[in-house]
């Protein structure tokens, strides 16, 4: 692409900015973005793309890490793109303008490689939208030698089949080492003048890469060779990104994010992330503190977030927080723990962990109202734990609480639904009783209900989702079971959850369904105000499919599953045993605090749990006893549970 054409594109796009919401989404030029241009034909041109708007993707940690890898790889030039919002999409289509990168306003179609993150199933139609907006063929089989290779990765890639026609290749597992290898292979083959087919053949030799074109069309027929998940075993010594791009506008994570550990061994049976990101690996306290201090100094941000699936599980969380609090005690810098599962929630922990944040809301995720159902899903907490945590939080100054539950979990009954209301009422009454009489009016409790979505590679992967009518009946039961009038109730749209379920355990028949729904106008499906169930129902009818049947299909334990060719490291027998244990309410321990549970990950992937210290006691001393609990505690101002997670 010539400089003249690039300037012309930039000029045309610039003229649209006064007609759209938040023009800064499209301007680029942020701190630490690479504004250099590729003037050497032998360089590998890479465009990293997030399939949602800049506000959501601008702080996405996968892109932060991959962008940093590209910057550190000789011979690679990298730029970014995000899906524009609907106002900008309409203007670009009206003016026949392609999707371009932020750094240099280059059309995506001019790059050698387009890397797209798959953050969740509901991004499926967005991926089609951005590829089409870029002027690239939607099907990999229709792309020619001059088209970029389109490679995906992320948690949703663990079931590649619904996306097989769209992507040329998918990367499975941790991306740090794998993506660097992909870049190296493609750079070498570009310089050697190799063909598109030869590049795909070379990528197929890399562990963790699934080449979609090489897979047979039969939905459940397995290829000769499985694709094994990649694991970054030496996570402890892999450098955290301390110079991330600093967005011009507020984004979903408008703060410095430092990943302090990867993986979770709690074993919640509904949780795909907890299963897929095993084993647990921690960065040391020294490495975390250094990353935070270096990152805050470089970016000028006033908040750092210690992120992971369960940050307070970190074996050195106490010294990490103490050291950071001491360092920033006299500043306006805040240290937050946006994903917490606290096993020791005493008053000191409440103050130390959350003392640098404003007293907004705390989020507890019991997930189920009854102890029976919490045992089914392996959520190892009881009502006494929850009440003790509320009492302690009230004593520490917290007044606003949010409770997360799920409707439609396996074996759930009407009694379990009613017990959600009873537990929420008990939390409210406990909070009111735990504060001085003059502060009781400050107590706020919100109850949020999601709809259970079965996920691949979990113990519930054989289960179907409840039909829409039954989910709606249970939500009505929830609403009319005596919830205290002061408790605010919100629930997830069951129709959106159904589409998530259709895709999450889909085979290759789902690809045409996604495409037809997109053709009928489906996009931004994770956004309730943009979601169109009409488009999905019409698409299903056009193809002779039933959304209810697709979401609700159940598999026999010995069935070949569409995603079985992906080796997540989890032994399928372990998952089946966990499912059977769930039916009898048997709980399974956390292997980082006890014996190995034989999930298979360490043995099959030649890796190990890597802790910075023993997790036998990660509590912060209060000078007395501490209460042992197992709660997901999240400050709401730091994180919200996304519809699609």
Residue 564: inside a domain: yes
Residue 453: inside a domain: yes
CB 407 within 8 A of CB 451: yes
Domain boundary among 199, 228, 257: 228
C-alpha distances in Å from residue 351, one per residue of 13, 345, 433, 618, 627: 49, 10, 21, 16, 15
Same domain for 584 and 484?
A: yes
Same domain for 271 and 151?
A: no
Residue 329: inside a domain: yes
Same domain for 202 and 252?
A: no
Helix, strand, coil tally for the chain in percent (to 5) = 40, 15, 45
Residue 89: inside a domain: yes
The whole-angstrom separation of Cα 174 and Cα 170 is 12
Residue 50 in tokens: 């997030």
Residue 596: inside a domain: yes
Number of structural domains (the chain) is: 2
Please, what is the end-to-end C-alpha distance for the chain in angstroms?
Answer: 39
Predicted TM-score of the model (pTM): 0.92
CB 477 within 8 A of CB 414: yes
The pLDDT score that the predictor gives to residue 310 is 86
Domain boundary among 200, 228, 256: 228
Residue 255 in tokens: 């703060």
The whole-angstrom separation of Cα 317 and Cα 252 is 24
Same domain for 46 and 131?
A: yes
Angle between helices 347-354 and 383-395 (to 10 degrees): 60
Please list, residue by residue across 234-251, b when 16 or more beta carbons sit within 10 angstroms of its beta carbon and e when fewer do.
ebbebebbbebbbbbeeb
CB 273 within 8 A of CB 285: no
Domain hosting residue 204, numbered range: 3-228
DSSP per-residue string spanning 129-197 = HHHHHTT--SSGGG--TTSPEEEEESGGGGS-GGGTTT-SEEE-B--HHHHHHHHHHHHHHHHTT--HH
CB 503 within 8 A of CB 123: no
Same domain for 58 and 173?
A: yes
Same domain for 279 and 223?
A: no
Residue 243 in tokens: 């110079």
Which helix (DSSP H) or strand (DSSP E) does residue 117 occupy? Answer: strand 113-117
Residue 245 in tokens: 């791009």
Closest by CA position to 138, among listed 507, 474, 473, 516: 516
Same domain for 201 and 323?
A: no
Longest CA span, the chain:
77
Same domain for 563 and 468?
A: yes
CB 262 within 8 A of CB 280: yes
Same domain for 213 and 256?
A: no
3-state SS class at 81:
strand
Which helix (DSSP H) or strand (DSSP E) does residue 449 occupy? Answer: strand 444-451
Residue 534 in tokens: 């009409």
Domain boundary among 169, 204, 228: 228
Residue 297: inside a domain: yes
What sign results for the dihedral spanned by CA atoms 58, 61, 66, 68? positive
3-state SS class at 548:
helix
Residue 602: inside a domain: yes
Please, which residues bridge with residue 306 across strands? 258
The pLDDT score that the predictor gives to residue 436 is 96
The whole-angstrom separation of Cα 468 and Cα 497 is 9
CB 445 within 8 A of CB 483: no
Q: Which residues touch 580 (CB under 8 Å, ≥6 apart)?
A: none
Length of the chain as a residue count: 645
3-state SS class at 360:
coil
CB 424 within 8 A of CB 395: no
Strand positions, DSSP E, 263-417: 281-282, 303-307, 334-336, 340-344, 361-367, 400-407
Same domain for 189 and 266?
A: no
Closest by CA position to 575, among listed 459, 475, 433: 459
The pLDDT score that the predictor gives to residue 219 is 44
Q: Any idea what the CATH number is for the domain that residue 74 is in? A: 3.40.50.280
The whole-angstrom separation of Cα 131 and Cα 108 is 9
Q: Any idea what the CATH number is for the domain that residue 332 is in? A: 3.80.30.20
Please, which residues bridge with residue 227 across strands? 566
Question: What phi and psi values does residue 626 have, to the nearest 5 degrees?
Answer: -120, 150
The whole-angstrom separation of Cα 354 and Cα 443 is 18
The pLDDT score that the predictor gives to residue 212 is 86
The pLDDT score that the predictor gives to residue 221 is 45
Q: Which parts of the chain sit beneath pLDDT 50?
A: 216-224, 342-344, 346-348, 355-358, 618-645
Same domain for 63 and 184?
A: yes
The whole-angstrom separation of Cα 157 and Cα 137 is 20
Same domain for 283 and 210?
A: no
Strand positions, DSSP E, 183-301: 209-211, 227-228, 256-259, 261-262, 281-282
Rg, Å, the chain Cα set: 24
Beta strand pairing status for 628-635 and 361-367? antiparallel
The whole-angstrom separation of Cα 257 and Cα 155 is 19
* CA 180 remoteness from chain centre: 22
CB 506 within 8 A of CB 109: no
Burial class (CB in 10 A: 0-12, 13-18, 19+), 325: middle
3-state SS class at 431:
helix
The pLDDT score that the predictor gives to residue 388 is 86
- Dihedral angle computed from the Cα positions of residues 420, 426, 427 and 430, in that order, rounded to the nearest 10 degrees: 180
Angle between helices 533-542 and 510-519 (to 10 degrees): 130
* CA 47 remoteness from chain centre: 21
CB 413 within 8 A of CB 470: no
The whole-angstrom separation of Cα 11 and Cα 9 is 5
Residue 527: inside a domain: no
The whole-angstrom separation of Cα 474 and Cα 450 is 12
The whole-angstrom separation of Cα 504 and Cα 121 is 6
The whole-angstrom separation of Cα 49 and Cα 607 is 30
């Amino acid at each position: 692409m010539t400089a003249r054409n690039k300037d012309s594109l930039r000029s045309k796009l610039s003229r649209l900015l006064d007609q759209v919401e938040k023009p800064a989404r499209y301007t680029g030029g942020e701190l630490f973005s690479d504004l250099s241009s590729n003037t050497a034909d032998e360089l590998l041109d890479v465009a990293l793309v997030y399939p949602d708007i800049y506000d959501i993707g601008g702080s996405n940690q996968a892109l932060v890490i991959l962008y940093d890898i590209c910057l550190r790889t000789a011979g690679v030039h990298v730029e970014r793109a995000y899906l524009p919002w609907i106002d900008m999409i309409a203007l670009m289509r009206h003016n026949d303008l392609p999707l371009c990168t932020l750094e240099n306003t280059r059309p995506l179609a001019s790059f050698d490689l387009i890397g797209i993150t798959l953050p969740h199933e509901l991004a499926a139609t967005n991926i089609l939208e951005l590829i089409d907006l870029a002027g690239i063929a939607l099907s990999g089989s229709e792309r020619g030698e001059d088209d970029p290779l389109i490679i995906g990765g992320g948690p949703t890639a663990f079931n590649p089949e619904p996306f097989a026609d769209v992507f040329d290749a998918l990367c499975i597992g941790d991306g740090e080492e794998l993506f660097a290898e992909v870049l190296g292979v493609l750079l070498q083959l570009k310089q050697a003048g190799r063909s598109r087919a030869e590049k795909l053949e070379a990528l197929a030799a890399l562990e963790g890469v699934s080449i979609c074109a090489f897979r047979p069309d039969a939905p459940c027929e397995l290829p000769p060779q499985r694709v094994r998940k990649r694991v970054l075993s030496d996570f402890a010594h892999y450098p955290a990104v301390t110079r991330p791009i600093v967005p011009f506008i507020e984004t979903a994570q408008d703060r410095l994010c430092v990943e302090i550990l990867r993986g979770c061994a709690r074993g919640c049976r509904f949780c795909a992330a907890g299963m897929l990101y095993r084993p647990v690996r921690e960065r040391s306290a020294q490495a975390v503190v250094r990353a935070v201090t270096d990152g805050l100094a470089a970016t000028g941000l006033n908040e750092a977030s210690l992120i992971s699936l369960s940050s307070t599980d970190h074996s050195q969380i106490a010294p990490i927080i103490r050291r950071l609090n001491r360092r920033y005690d006299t500043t306006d810098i805040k240290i937050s723990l946006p994903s917490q599962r606290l096993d020791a929630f005493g008053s000191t922990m409440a103050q130390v962990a959350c003392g640098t944040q404003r007293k907004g809301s705390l989020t507890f995720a019991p997930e189920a109202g009854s102890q029976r159902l919490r045992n089914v899903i392996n959520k190892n907490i009881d009502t006494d734990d929850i009440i003790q945590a509320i009492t302690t939080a009230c004593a520490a100054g917290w007044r606003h609480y949010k409770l997360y539950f799920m409707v439609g979990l396996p074996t759930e009954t009407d009694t379990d639904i009613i017990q959600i209301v009873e537990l929420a009422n008990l939390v409210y009454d406990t909070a009111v009783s735990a504060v001085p009489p003059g502060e009781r009016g400050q107590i706020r409790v919100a109850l949020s209900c999601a709809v259970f979505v079965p996920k691949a590679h979990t113990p519930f992967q054989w289960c179907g989702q409840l039909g829409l009518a039954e989910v709606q009946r249970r939500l009505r039961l929830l609403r009319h079971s005596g919830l205290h009038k002061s408790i605010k109730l919100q629930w997830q749209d069951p129709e959106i959850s159904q589409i998530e379920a259709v895709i999450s355990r889909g085979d290759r028949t789902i690809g045409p369904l996604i495409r037809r729904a997109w053709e009928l106008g489906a996009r931004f499906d994770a956004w309730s105000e943009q979601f169109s169930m009409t488009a999905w129902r019409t698409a299903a009818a056009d193809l002779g499919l039933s959304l209810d049947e697709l979401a609700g299909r159940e598999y026999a334990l010995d069935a070949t599953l569409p995603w079985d060719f992906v080796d997540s490291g989890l032994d399928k027998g372990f998952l089946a045993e966990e499912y059977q244990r769930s039916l009898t309410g048997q709980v399974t321990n956390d292997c980082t605090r006890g014996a190995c549970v034989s999930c298979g990950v360490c043995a099959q992937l030649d890796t190990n749990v890597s802790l910075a210290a023993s997790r036998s006691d990660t509590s912060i001393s209060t000078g007395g006893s501490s209460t042992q609990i197992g709660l997901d505690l999240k400050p709401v101002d730091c994180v919200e549970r996304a519809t699609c997670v």
